[in-house]
Structure 1
């Protein structure tokens, strides 16, 4: 850690607040790209604390490179995997299968489950684009509030985006905290499911009752065009739901084997090096992409190379923003700001899991990006978590939970939900902003309960 400057104590808090404020102004007021805004803020923070200029440049570079080294490959491969599922029609098959199984009356539950599954390999905006016409038709047909459907799909999708590998935010948190990703995946997946149940399904049903009571419904006067589009949709052969799910399961099973087999047989067993190699996140995702390419080949309208190229184009900006978030986090660590912020908040005797959640939630509200909020919080809390006595796995989940709710109009996802589902700003706040917050609180309560048994549950105190 840098210690040669003269900036200490409360002034560090002031610089931290100023840095966050500058980041917000650059992104919200001046519409500066988040990648550039994060780098400007990172360099500026280092200069303000009197860090030697060569050290500022080196720290930013190391933070950027270290983050991409940890998650760059697997993020790119994850986007490719999702692209194969989408282009082959596998995502649509999964959704239709679930909707058929649950029926129209319980369709919000089916929508939540569809969003939960498709949110793992596919980014949120793509899910919203794909589901919006169908959900608007369902709302008109069933009389179920459109706000309920918007809540169900958006909360479920964001729970998986914020918590379930191989999406960028949980990968970044896992890399920052140095935790075992297979075990993290196992507990994070269960936690995300809990969030979906309470934030997407239970709270969504409450919204539906509210709207029925107030007779608050949308007229769908423009729906004829969308219904016609659905009726004349491409009738080409699509990948079945089972095959599509197997694409997800290949890397997941490999990662879980690499994490849990050594726990069962011991580190000295002959099979341990093999399963650890197969369960390495990069190898597992590569195997998943190759498998996806092979089984989806006959369902594709373009070549495998073209799909991989499009996926690589999509992932570029994501990696830049994530890497810049890592650079900003590294500056906060190296200057001592992270330790001082965490130490100051710890004086209030806030439980570590609640503290992880609160910091992530505050930064999420302030600047809008889930990825940036989780990266920054993980950097601030890493050393405190290491000495807290609470499982780093559970702390990581609490951080990720803080990045789910209270999405405000400074978040691009807020407008994506409002725009694609054609609901008002007020209804977007009701369905998504508050729904996500309910999901985050549910997950925080769940991991707090798990922490009571962390000495008995496998993998939590590694």
Structure 2
């Protein structure tokens, strides 16, 4: 079969993405399987040698998982240690006391941004939702007023702020500087989280009435009302444990500024600033700060680390398959054709990164897969631009696109629907709209930031 060339390659790519949407949303096929199947058929359709299709998919899959599997595993273990020790609850209680009940929605956004840094959205949500239930009960506020700022904060750090694993994918793909990406991510992310979280929650909680009886909420609240006081870790040590990987990455990013390059101190700083090493050191530190100092022995810590990995197996496989799909797009010549088209149309790489990520997000339901796949497509365009576009801003644009309109093919959609006790329509009006606000405002602020940096 003769290889397909020219604009027909782009048509094949659009058909492949449409097929992804159809199989996932209409026929409910698991995204991991769909990504494999569509990748193979895409390779055949564009005339790739059959001997190279599987190799291309496996190469992309392995390249993606080679980094992300380590980050996901270490980040999830750190989140589990924080949950078991009561660290997240300590952060919540402290911020509630300082913000007061009238500004509780602001404190929940802050909690989510802090807690969400090292873990995936779903993990952060499960860690914080018991706190949201108890805060809503204690303050007699709507769960939407408490919960929407929480999920907005989690979502923003998921797409825009390293060392979150999803944002780290884009940092790696675009060869962006981690330190600058963190700073730019906070500059764009915090105003975005404020609008999509507390301000949006103030508007929506009056318009949507949740059912009085929520079985999940009752279960979590009752489990906390056993008359026993929990010995929680201190706020300072908890915050330091959570932010330690960020601190180490900032040290590594700025090493050349403070220490002469190619000296052993410089190499050490770069080594500990690597995302894998930084998260590993933070996890080892948490074994003391959240573990032994809280009365947990070695067996307890081993149990926590082991049992937290099961729930992330599915998303890890999907992320790898997304990388495989992206590599098939690259090896088939689709990415190169997209480079030519974008160059001819003078399309901004920032807008292209956002658009591609948004399209994949709508197709697969996973923000992480959207970032993985979009980076594989857009990275060659970024390289062709010869530094005309900041790699750090490209991370933010791609991350913003990956957060667009969560709908029925997104596991987070159903997670939030069930925990909040909402109907499908109410979930669209709250969670899906919240995600869209984050995506559009993130893109707008990224463009604005590009004018001054």
TM-score (norm 1): 0.88
Instruction: Identify the range of structure 1 (55-64 vs 296-305) with the bigger mean alpha-carbon deviation.
Output: 296-305
User: Could you tell me how far 1:47 is from its partner in structure 2?
Assistant: 1.4
Match 1:291 to one of 285, 296, 305: 285
CA distance in 1, matches of 2:175, 2:189: 21
Distance in structure 1 (CA, Å) of the matches to 2:321 and 2:364: 15
Moved more, 12-21 or 221-230: 221-230
Distance 1:346 1:441 in 2: 24
Question: Which residue in 1 is equivalent to 2:71?
Answer: 74
1:341-397 per-residue CA deviation (whole Å, 9 max, x = no partner) reads 354355554432222212212221233111111111111111111233111111111
Partner of 2:307: 310
Deviations 1:81-107 (A, max 9, x none): 111111111111111211121111111
Aligned to 1:253: 247
> Residues of 1 paired with 2:196 and 2:345: CA distance?
29
Q: Distance in 1 between the 2:136 and 2:409 partners? A: 28
Decide whether the 8 Å contact of 2:113 with 2:153 is kept in 1: yes
Whether 1:148 aligns to 2:140 is no
Question: 2:109 aligned with 1:112, yes or no?
Answer: yes
What is the CA-CA distance between 1:239 and the residue it aligns to? Answer: 2.1
- RMSD of aligned Cα (Å): 2.5
Question: 1:199-235: per-residue Cα shift (whole Å, max 9, x none)?
Answer: 1122222334xx2xx5x53352457666443322763
Matched, 1:95 2:92: yes
Give the C-alpha shift of residue 139 in structure 1: 4.5
In structure 2, the CA distance between the partners of 1:86 and 1:13, relative to structure 1 (3 Å rule), is same
Say if 1:259 and 1:276, in contact at 8 Å, map to a contact too. Answer: yes
Change (3 A) 1:79 1:227: closer
1:142 and 1:349, CA in 2 relative to 1: closer, same or farther beyond 3 A? Answer: farther
State the distance in 1 between where 2:142 and 2:345 align.
42
Q: Which residue of 2 aligns with 1:325?
A: 322
Q: Where does residue 404 of structure 2 map in the other structure?
A: 405
Answering whether residue 16 of structure 2 is matched by residue 19 of structure 1, we say yes
Quick check: 165-174 or 143-152, which moved more?
143-152
Match of 2:159 in 1: 162
Could you tell me which of 370, 373, 378 is aligned with 1:376? 373
State how far apart, in whole Å, the 2-side matches of 1:236 and 1:205 are.
Answer: 32
Work out whether 1:446 is the aligned partner of 2:438: no
Unaligned runs of 5+ in 2: none
Q: 1:282 aligns with which of 254, 276, 279?
A: 276
Distance 1:190 1:234, change over 3 A: farther
Which residue of the partner structure matches residue 35 of structure 1?
Answer: 32
Q: What is the distance in 2 between the residues matched to 1:306 and 1:396? A: 36
Counterpart CA distance in 1 for 2:87 and 2:414 is 27
2: CA distance, partners of 1:140 / 1:237: 21
Kindly indicate whether the alpha-carbon contact (under 8 Å) linking 1:398 and 1:447 is maintained by their aligned counterparts in 2.
yes
For 1:269 and 1:241, how far apart are their aligned partners in 2? Answer: 37
Q: Deviations over 1:312-357 (max 9, x none)?
A: 3334333222111111111111111123235435555443222221
Q: Measure the CA separation in 2 of the matches of 1:224 and 1:254.
A: 40
Q: Does 1:52 align with 2:44?
A: no
Instruction: Pick closer, same or farther for the CA change 1:275–1:122 going to 2, 3 Å.
Output: closer
Per-residue CA deviation, residues 420-446 of structure 1 (Å, 9 max, x unaligned), is 011233332222211222222222222
| Larger deviation, residues 297-306 vs 158-167 | 297-306
- String of CA shifts for 1:254-274, please: whole Å, max 9, x gaps: 111111121344535553212
Q: State the partner residue of 1:337.
A: 334
Identify which of 174, 183, 186 aligns with 1:186: 183
Instruction: Structure 1 unaligned segments of length 5 or more: list them.
Output: 455-462
| Distance (Å, rounded) in 1 between the aligned partners of 2:239 and 2:286 | 10
Determine if contact 1:266/1:272 at 8 Å carries over to the other structure. Answer: yes
| Structure 2 Cα separation of the partners of residues 128 and 271 of structure 1 | 39
Query: Which range moved further: 374-383 or 177-186?
Result: 177-186
Structure 1 pair 71–128 and aligned structure 2 pair: CA distance change class (3 A): closer
Aligned residues: 446
Shift of 1:282: 1.7
Q: Following the alignment from structure 2 to structure 1, what is the Cα–Cα distance between the partners of residues 182 and 324?
A: 25
3-state DSSP of counterpart to 2:407: coil
| 1:109 positional shift | 0.6
8 Å contact kept, 1:176–1:379 = yes
C-alpha separation between the residues in 1 aligned to 2:249 and 2:136? 39
